[in-house]
Structure 1
Amino acid sequence: MFAGRIALDIAATAKDPVRVLIAGRNRMRLDWLRTAGNARAAMFGTPAHFATHPIDLLEAGASEALIGEHRPRLVVQAASIQTSAVISDSGSRWTDLVAQGGLSATAVFQALISARMAAAISALQPDIQLINCSFPDVVNGMLVAMGHNVLCGTGNVAILSNIFAGERPAAGDGKLRVLAHYQCLAPWRLPPQQRVGTLAPRVFIGDEEIADPFQVFEGCQLTPEPAIEISGASGVTLILALASGRAWEGHAPGPNGLPGGYPVKLVDGQLQVDLPKGRSLTDAIAWNAAFEARNGLTVDGTAARYHGRLRELLEEEGSVHAAGFEVGDLETVCSDLLRLREDLSQKPNVRHSA
């Protein structure tokens, strides 16, 4: 669904010639996205062309085969072994663990295919730009710790920056910049009167910070489900700028492997964090990193560490990785946690129901 949103919005908005290859294992879905993409390009009169490549990215060597055959300039990796619906599902011990411990419970599942793709790029064509759409606020740091390059992700901070831009009269004149970790999305899924606490993003108009984003942007509303109408679409202008070699300004999570999300600008094919005057990158990184340090998964060197309630829950469920793991052991850790996820998914959520 996420990749489909990106592809079909490229079809409607491309201004320069672009060729998009969609890879995946569901042939019917691939045929539909190729057909719909080319139809939308014809409908809107855009110079976009879509083709497909059937492949199971979980098979050994699949990423290498894909890169080796097609030699793309840009890879947008949106495949994952963890569905985004987990944020709104309920009823099992696993969904309860994610609800209480946070989405970093799924980080290794989100990282698996992206890490394999990043490794293939490093080995075969290091100049390929990689945009990782799978939990980039956390996963991109894991990829960099594994020795790979990643440009950024899509969504998350860009969801908030775009919904705030859509309410621009409420904010006044000046350039809009937003610092936001993915955890900052949670309040905007609630009714305005329930938006309180420590998960507010930092919003700047020009160089001045807004004191209360919840009040200024109270009319903005996200769905409880993944907001792909915005999150998937948010990467399209960046993708098209990269494809055509143009400059670009906006917001992105995990730029160059940093934790959380930032205002950024694209200069000569590279992303630079674009903070308001007088704001330091060190402080911005520390502010974003603090969310996962309180409850989530942080990366320090080659070590990934769980924190807060998430670590407690993993300990309660008997995970041998509750304290964390070395990022180089991702494949083994993922296999272990998949067994835990399968086991807990079969158990009703009774332990914390009281």
Structure 2
Amino acid sequence: MTPRRIAVVGSGALARALGHSLAAFAPSHPAGRPDVPVTVTLLARDGAAVAELARSCRARAAVSGNPVSFTAEPLTDEVETLDRLRPDVLVCCASAQSPYERVTAPSAWTRLIAEAGFGVTLPLQATLAVRLARAVARVNPGTRFVNGAFPDMVNPLLVALDLPVLCGIGNVSTLAACLRASLNLAPGDRLAMLGHHVHLVAPTDPGDEVRAWSNGTPVTGVTALLAADRALPRGELNAIGGHAAARLLLDLVTGAEIRANLPGPMGLPGGYPVRISAGTIVLDLPAGITRTAAVDWNLRVGRRDGVQVVDGRIEYSPAAAAAIADHLPDIADGWTPSALDQVTEELTALRGRLRLAPPAPAPARLA
């Protein structure tokens, strides 16, 4: 029997969390369908790193009695690799900009990100995802592409570039998992959530908080319910996101019907409740919430990230534009997706310069 194939690109924290959880979960097979073997291929520029991860995953799968198998290989040519592997699902778990740099290597670059918003890194987040989506479109349009690199904003950019993407992982999925646990929901209970990447941190305005419904009833006190989870180290939240992603990917390749909360479905900005059946994804919004209202809400709350992809154009918030204008005035007023490669080149050069400078000291506070 032909195995279902999942290809995971990346060797960092998210890829490791995803691989370990894929090793722990047994695939769920819909009633009336035969069990189908699942093979996971781990891909990255660092072949030694993914070989090590695959070995770890095989050992974990053996302990779990899990039939999922793991292989690894270096990724040197996306087109050749995807043409040869032809995965059912391809997931991107890497980008050219680490979200942890502000902690591990603070500099004038990370200070700029803090001032402008995480969205200033959009071109760097999108670099690998764009290459992978282009490869899928070229050699295997049947592959479902799932993006884990800033999907709330990168996925709308992919659609603006007329590139394929099914959905994202992390962010709203992570928050939904945490809220399910806080509410002590049973497996059959429905949780619908509107949430954005910015909600990994509690908003200052309570009116901008995550919106959630449990079995159709609005959930109140979301900030308090998520407070302890938001206080977890970012690595722990990353692991939760990887765990939720593993269940999603296995259900995708085995054909199970999926109800979940996902970022960037169909290239929309932010995160939404969705239903996936036979590979087709649709929004699964609570009664009374229209698609237009849900998208507008995500656009509004997502402004804290400093960037939006609207009507095929990348626009910065006033604060982000002012911060960027000091360094790259030619892009501060926004840019079109066709300029992505040029903007990425300019931003990469700026990052190289600013990484050599220490972060400016924080302004003194009045006593």
Do these two structures clear the TM 0.5 threshold for a shared fold by scoring above it?
Answer: yes
Query: Is 1:150 the counterpart of 2:131 in the alignment?
Result: no
Match of 1:192 in 2: none
8 Å Cα contact 1:105-1:310 kept in structure 2: yes
Report the Cα distance in structure 2 between the residues aligned to 1:312 and 1:199, rounded to whole angstroms.
24
Tell me which of 81, 86, 95 is aligned to 2:96: 81
Report the Cα distance in structure 2 between the residues aligned to 1:48 and 1:208, rounded to whole angstroms.
37
**Cα distance per residue 1:28-54 (max 9 Å; x no partner):** 212211111111111111111111121
Q: CA deviation at 1:200?
A: 1.2
Q: CA deviation at 1:319?
A: 4.0
Q: CA deviation at 1:316?
A: 2.0
8 Å Cα contact 1:21-1:53 kept in structure 2: yes
Tell me which of 14, 17, 29 is aligned to 1:2: 14
8 Å Cα contact 1:319-1:337 kept in structure 2: no
- Residues 93-172 of structure 1 correspond to what in structure 2 (within 5 A)? 93-169=108-184
Match of 2:61 in 1: 41
Q: CA deviation at 1:232?
A: 1.7
Opposite residue 221 of structure 2, the aligned amino acid is D
Distance 1:21 1:216, change over 3 A: closer
8 Å Cα contact 1:183-1:199 kept in structure 2: no
Distance 1:325 1:178, change over 3 A: same
Report the Cα distance in structure 2 between the residues aligned to 1:109 and 1:65, rounded to whole angstroms.
23
Report the Cα distance in structure 1 between the residues aligned to 2:120 and 2:96, rounded to whole angstroms.
13
Moved more, 285-294 or 38-47: 285-294
Q: Secondary structure at the match of 1:232?
A: helix
Q: CA deviation at 1:102?
A: 1.6
Distance 1:197 1:339, change over 3 A: farther
Q: CA deviation at 1:238?
A: 0.9
Where does structure 2 lack aligned partners over 5 or more consecutive residues? Answer: 1-12, 28-35
Match of 2:32 in 1: none
Match of 1:335 in 2: 345
Match of 1:344 in 2: 354
Report the Cα distance in structure 2 between the residues aligned to 1:217 and 1:154, rounded to whole angstroms.
19
Tell me which of 291, 296, 300 is aligned to 2:310: 300
Match of 1:22 in 2: 42
8 Å Cα contact 1:17-1:47 kept in structure 2: yes
Where does structure 1 lack aligned partners over 5 or more consecutive residues? Answer: 57-61, 189-194
Count of matched residue pairs: 342
Q: CA deviation at 1:224?
A: 4.8
Report the Cα distance in structure 2 between the residues aligned to 1:120 and 1:170, rounded to whole angstroms.
40
Match of 1:228 in 2: 238
Distance 1:21 1:210, change over 3 A: same
**Cα distance per residue 1:292-337 (max 9 Å; x no partner):** 4465222233321111311110012234211221112211110100
Report the Cα distance in structure 1 between the residues aligned to 2:172 and 2:102, rounded to whole angstroms.
17
Match of 2:23 in 1: 11
Opposite residue 78 of structure 2, the aligned amino acid is S
Moved more, 72-81 or 319-328: 319-328
Report the Cα distance in structure 2 between the residues aligned to 1:77 and 1:32, rounded to whole angstroms.
18
Report the Cα distance in structure 1 between the residues aligned to 2:72 and 2:45, rounded to whole angstroms.
10
Match of 1:210 in 2: 219
Q: CA deviation at 1:132?
A: 0.5
Query: Is 1:70 the counterpart of 2:85 in the alignment?
Result: yes
Opposite residue 210 of structure 1, the aligned amino acid is V
Q: CA deviation at 1:71?
A: 1.1
Of all paired residues, the percent bearing the same amino acid is 29
Opposite residue 125 of structure 2, the aligned amino acid is Q
Opposite residue 243 of structure 1, the aligned amino acid is V
Opposite residue 258 of structure 1, the aligned amino acid is L
Match of 2:4 in 1: none
Report the Cα distance in structure 1 between the residues aligned to 2:281 and 2:230, rounded to whole angstroms.
29
Match of 1:191 in 2: none
Tell me which of 36, 39, 52 is aligned to 1:32: 52
8 Å Cα contact 1:295-1:308 kept in structure 2: no
8 Å Cα contact 1:86-1:98 kept in structure 2: no
Report the Cα distance in structure 2 between the residues aligned to 1:76 and 1:216, rounded to whole angstroms.
30
Distance 1:312 1:197, change over 3 A: farther
Q: CA deviation at 1:210?
A: 2.7
Q: TM (normalized to structure 2)? A: 0.87
- Residues 305-320 of structure 1 correspond to what in structure 2 (within 5 A)? 305-320=315-330
Q: TM (normalized to structure 1)? A: 0.90
Report the Cα distance in structure 2 between the residues aligned to 1:83 and 1:64, rounded to whole angstroms.
25
Q: Secondary structure at the match of 1:291?
A: helix
